[in-house]
Amino acid sequence: MGSSRLPGKVLKDLQGKPMLERVVERVARSTRVHEMVVITSRNPEDQPVASFCQDKGISCFRGSEEDVLDRFYQAAKEFKADAAVRITGDCPLIDPQVVDELVKLFLEKTPDYASNFLVRTFPRGLDAEIMTYTCLETAWKEAKTAYCRAHVTPYIYENPNRFHLEGLCNEKNYSDHRWTVDTVEDLNFVRSVYRCMGSDSFFSWQSVLDLIEREPALKAINAKVQQKEIHEG
């Protein structure tokens, strides 16, 4: 709830539902994720997130606000995860098929860590990553810098000699598309997408691409938003 550029963003309305609910609904359609947990902080400011989860019957884990790596690790430990898929709550266009493709790659290649942004070819906002519990625990023990603790996985993917990494890439590069929500402009973009899609909340990411091809003005809504660097916070 304490987003610096868009406070309260994860519970902003998105076509009649909080953005977090849209994320949860879409991830729930994954066929390869066995259990889903919303991980938030113990800060009283994040009580609305915990209350939302309680009302919707969604598992919720609360931990450190600043040390998100610890929060994520403790949640994985609490829920006895063999491997943990990480998706951030500000990606309401996340596609369960992309998540499943990443998990499939992970099971076939058996790396320590895999993501679809080691080499970015998917739109920003379809980001997903998966790691073994052992890999996560190693990062939790060894990562020291503030940004590695705040962003969970940089210690892993910035140390390819330390960990076996695998990346999921799309055949065509769509990395110039921005579908994550960090600003008012981003929120206006995803609201426009959901409004155009109407009652179908389970549209695919390819359907969004088709929509943007028909309505190129949509992409311009947040085209000038600069992505924050992970070292910034």
CATH number, domain with residue 26:
3.90.550.10
Q: What is the pLDDT at residue 232?
A: 55
According to the 3-state scheme, what is the secondary structure of 109-157? HCCCEEECCCCCCCCECCCCEEEEHHHHHHHHHHCCCHHHHHCCCHHHH
How much is the mean pLDDT over the chain?
Answer: 95
Contact 173, 209 (CB under 8 A): no
With respect to residue 192, please indicate whether it lies within any of the assigned structural domains.
Answer: no
Contact 99, 30 (CB under 8 A): yes
Q: What is the Cα–Cα distance from 120 to 85, expressed in whole angstroms?
A: 18
Range of the domain at 46: 9-176
63 sits in which H/E element: strand 59-63
Torsion angle of C-alpha atoms 225, 226, 229, 233, degrees rounded to 10:
-50
Q: What is the pLDDT at residue 230?
A: 64
| Residue pLDDT, tens place only, 140-192 | 999 999 999 999 999 999 999 999 999 999 999 999 999 999 999 999 999 99
How many domains in the chain?
1
Beta strand 165-167 pairing with 13-14? unpaired
With respect to residue 188, please indicate whether it lies within any of the assigned structural domains.
Answer: no
pTM of the model: 0.95
With respect to residue 195, please indicate whether it lies within any of the assigned structural domains.
Answer: no
Averaged pLDDT, 204-210: 97
Give the chain's end-to-end CA distance (angstroms, integer).
15
With respect to residue 4, please indicate whether it lies within any of the assigned structural domains.
Answer: no
The mean-pLDDT minimum among 29-33, 213-217, 223-227 falls in 223-227
Beta strand 83-86 pairing with 129-132? antiparallel
Averaged pLDDT, 25-31: 96
